[in-house]
Chain A
């Protein structure tokens, strides 16, 4: 810990990851785009597609407009049973660092709770993040969610 790149410490990057997680788990999806740069990359893929170098995503946004479109669809258009996520994260591993970017990976498990009380282990995997310092704060330039399983339970409405 404590590795320093100009402008970013691991602790700052880790704080970004933590804040993001609580934002999602608190159900504040409308805040989700504020964690990304412009342009950016957010995608959810599977370990199988990742290892086979297949470019398909389960969810893909590469700019702020796409992030906001997704939020608006979730909040106004798409219909699904209300539910909450609870992420539990591992420590983060620094994969690479340059003058401006910290590349970190963090494992997660995500439990989903429906309003009727059903609780399921919804997803496990890892985040592969490119974190930069912009406009006075840390942001994700890229957040790739690599799911361990290639089978997703029914519906993935809220971003992981």
Chain B
């Protein structure tokens, strides 16, 4: 019998997912419980890309919650994922972020594992000159590495610790799989990666990603540059159960000026400065997918983001580090058949993303500000009622927090809150 953890001290407000108790962003017990109930639970977690491990023996390190994971291509070309922890004493087997190996050998006592995680040898297994050695009870097949179930889709690699996790198709739904095919369904070219230290709980970041309400308000650059105004044609598509989502908008540079002026928004005030880009490289865009959809932000519960901002393409994962600390990892990509002009265009548009992102920079900061604001108010709750109480999308509209409520629907289900 598995021992259940002690119940959490948080009581979710009776209003349901239109209230978010602030304690979920700060409580150490919640953080601990998430590790088991979510990250080691029935979710599919992004692990990396096939293009990062092109050949047998190529590996890349990942992190699922707090758990370090190795993703490696075997001699048969298949991809395996296993916990980066020697079955002897728990030492990480790999500590360089990526590389190529023929096997994993622990530096501590030379325990060896093949590319599938099977244990193959230990130092002095049979003793020295016939003396000593491992106990007769020791059986190597019983001491392989802990492996994750792996699902590959259009070059993306996902993993899960739980046998209860439904199939990936069932987990995210057909619409989200279609968007992965749309953005990732041809050979990718990695352009680079970096990460940001985020001074907040991981959920404040993913909520921000799932909240189209803020996009043209907090990010004045968006609104002023008419990059993404909620008055543009677009909408929200929900994944199965509402846990995951896509927010999209089309290339239709309608300004929506009156709505923004009347609401006294900062981005509207900035119009009086006549702010506009002098350089055209950020706005010299092309229709990558032939569908006029200029922006898609897709999440996969709990912490993965697939980003198409015009021609700026990236994967993001928000890794929980502590109640008030997370690491946001970015991987930028284009396509293997991009010509030089397209690659340069994507690299210039990458000015929109990351810690210096003309659009993204506020996203890294806002969670830290919220975390400061809620200190001392952990008995209070956030109010999330834009677009109603439910998680159903409003056709043709993004002025909704339905996808935020969808995240909390999944969160509550797994956390038992």
A residues apposed to B, CB below 8 Å: 44-46, 48-49, 52, 54-63, 65-66, 68-70, 72-73, 76-81, 150-157
Assess whether A154 is in contact with B356, with CB atoms less than 8 Å apart. Answer: no
Contacts A56-B194, A68-B278, A80-B362 supplied; 13 other A-B pairs, CB < 8 Å: A46-B194, A48-B97, A56-B192, A61-B351, A62-B281, A69-B277, A76-B270, A77-B267, A78-B220, A79-B365, A80-B361, A150-B195, A156-B361
CB<8 Å pairs between A and B, sample of 17: A46-B192, A48-B97, A57-B350, A58-B356, A63-B279, A65-B279, A66-B348, A76-B220, A78-B358, A78-B362, A151-B195, A152-B195, A154-B197, A154-B355, A155-B196, A156-B356, A157-B361
- B30 → chain A closest CB, angstroms: 23
Count chain A CB atoms within 10 A of each CB in B279, B355, B356 and give the residue with the most.
B356
- B265 → chain A closest CB, angstroms: 12
Bound CA–CA A87/B282 (angstroms): 30
Q: Is the interface of A mostly helix, strand, loop or mixed?
A: mixed
Assess whether B197 is in contact with A54, with CB atoms less than 8 Å apart. Answer: no
Assess whether B190 is in contact with A79, with CB atoms less than 8 Å apart. Answer: no
Count chain B CB atoms within 10 A of each CB in A54, A70, A77, A150 and give the residue with the most.
A77
Of all A-B residue pairs in the complex, the 10 with the closest CB atoms, nearest first, are: A56-B192, A54-B192, A65-B279, A65-B278, A152-B355, A156-B356, A49-B192, A156-B355, A77-B221, A59-B356
Contact pick for B190, options A46, A48, A54, A153, CB 8 Å:
A54
Assess whether B192 is in contact with A77, with CB atoms less than 8 Å apart. Answer: no
Which B residues between 104 and 155 are near A, CB-CB below 8 angstroms? Answer: none
- B245 → chain A closest CB, angstroms: 25
List, in ascending order, chain B residues with CB within 8 A of A79's CB.
Answer: 218, 220, 266, 362, 365
Assess whether A66 is in contact with B279, with CB atoms less than 8 Å apart. Answer: yes
Bound CA–CA A65/B273 (angstroms): 17
List, in ascending order, chain A residues with CB within 8 A of B190's CB.
Answer: 54
- B51 → chain A closest CB, angstroms: 12
Q: Is the interface of B mostly helix, strand, loop or mixed?
A: mixed
Contact pick for B191, options A56, A80, A154, CB 8 Å:
A56
Closest residue of chain A to B347 (Cβ to Cβ) is A55
Bound CA–CA A78/B225 (angstroms): 12
List, in ascending order, chain A residues with CB within 8 A of B196's CB.
Answer: 151-155
Assess whether B221 is in contact with A54, with CB atoms less than 8 Å apart. Answer: no
Assess whether B347 is in contact with A56, with CB atoms less than 8 Å apart. Answer: yes
- B285 → chain A closest CB, angstroms: 16
Bound CA–CA A69/B361 (angstroms): 15
Bound CA–CA A70/B357 (angstroms): 10
Does any Cβ of A come within 8 Å of B391's Cβ? no
Contact pick for B358, options A45, A49, A73, A81, CB 8 Å:
A73
Assess whether A58 is in contact with B281, with CB atoms less than 8 Å apart. Answer: no
Does any Cβ of A come within 8 Å of B65's Cβ? no
List, in ascending order, chain A residues with CB within 8 A of B220's CB.
Answer: 76-79
List, in ascending order, chain A residues with CB within 8 A of B267's CB.
Answer: 77
Assess whether A154 is in contact with B362, with CB atoms less than 8 Å apart. Answer: no
Contact pick for B275, options A66, A77, A153, A157, CB 8 Å:
A77
List, in ascending order, chain B residues with CB within 8 A of A61's CB.
Answer: 351
Assess whether B278 is in contact with A81, with CB atoms less than 8 Å apart. Answer: no
List, in ascending order, chain B residues with CB within 8 A of A57's CB.
Answer: 192, 347, 350-351
Count chain B CB atoms within 10 A of each CB in A45, A54, A79, A157 and give the residue with the most.
A79
Cβ contacts B320-342/A at 8 Å (1 or 0 each): 00000001000010000000000
Does any Cβ of A come within 8 Å of B364's Cβ? yes
Does any Cβ of A come within 8 Å of B343's Cβ? yes
Contact pick for B354, options A52, A55, A58, A77, CB 8 Å:
A58
Bound CA–CA A154/B356 (angstroms): 9
Does any Cβ of A come within 8 Å of B67's Cβ? no
- B362 → chain A closest CB, angstroms: 5
Closest residue of chain B to A50 (Cβ to Cβ) is B192
Bound CA–CA A156/B358 (angstroms): 10
